[in-house]
Amino acid sequence: MMFLEPMINNKEKLTQIEIQEQIHSFCCQRSHWVMAPNIYVLGWESDFISVTNSGYIYEYEIKLSVADYKKDFKKHVVDVDENWRGKRLNKHDCLSGKIERAEKPKRFYFVMPKDMVPVSEIPEYAGLIYAYKYKSTETYWCPNHEEIKVAPDISGYKPITQDQRMKIMTSLSHRFFRHYFKDIRKERGDLYDH
């Protein structure tokens, strides 16, 4: 069976939600069993994470502009030790292995519009996925993303912990019920929204 690919629309800008939808598709094709957008699991907020069948976290950082991409390398995370003393660490120093840190993904990807940043400017420890905007809304059978650079395994990664599992489940549970109750209030005609 042959599928016709819709034409790429380069004039319209992609939104973060559209790219998250494409990352979801990318992860489903690889049978990742849990996926969550905008979640705090690794000590910083991730635009999107997935968990593989083997129990490893992949992180996807969405970039919509070159300025946003460059700003990402200045992000810091506060790492708290057993005595509750905090240290400011650069996120990309943690990912690159310059700084040792327990919580990090197995793989890290930048996801952005096609050709926004050339693959030569992507750090060694990161992968790159280009996202496309199609004129057609029929994108289920047509890939709307392309893995340009496969992310290598990050040094020192570990399988997902029970604490990380709980953070993911709690976040997804709260989101589900927030939308569920919002839909019920809408059906009942409630005038206010919590």
Is residue 96 a contact partner of residue 90, using CB atoms and an 8 Å limit? no
Residue 116 pLDDT level (bands cut at 50, 70, 90): very high
On whether both 177 and 127 belong to a single domain, the answer is: no
Question: What is d(CA 135, CA 133) in angstroms, rounded to the nearest whole number?
Answer: 7
On whether both 26 and 68 belong to a single domain, the answer is: yes
The answer for residues whose C-beta is within 8 angstroms of residue 125's C-beta and 6 or more apart is 95, 96, 97, 108, 151, 152, 154, 155
Residue 55 lies in a domain: yes
Report the SS3 class of residue 148.
strand
On whether both 62 and 24 belong to a single domain, the answer is: yes
On whether both 107 and 138 belong to a single domain, the answer is: yes
Q: Span 19-24, mean pLDDT? A: 91
* Entry pTM: 0.83
On whether both 21 and 97 belong to a single domain, the answer is: yes
On whether both 154 and 172 belong to a single domain, the answer is: no
Residue 168 structural domain: 161-194
Q: Of all helices (H) and strands (E), which one includes residue 76?
A: strand 76-80
Q: Which of 58-72, 133-147, 153-167 has the lowest mean pLDDT?
A: 133-147
Q: 172-185 pLDDT, tens per residue?
A: 998 888 888 888 88
Residue 82 lies in a domain: yes
Q: 86-104 pLDDT, tens per residue?
A: 788 899 999 999 988 878 9
Is residue 154 a contact partner of residue 108, using CB atoms and an 8 Å limit? yes
Q: Which residue has the higher pLDDT, 17 or 2?
A: 17
Residue 58 lies in a domain: yes
Q: What share of the chain is helix, strand, coil (3-state, %, to 5)?
A: 30, 25, 45
On whether both 114 and 127 belong to a single domain, the answer is: yes
Residue 1 lies in a domain: no
Amino acid at 69: Y
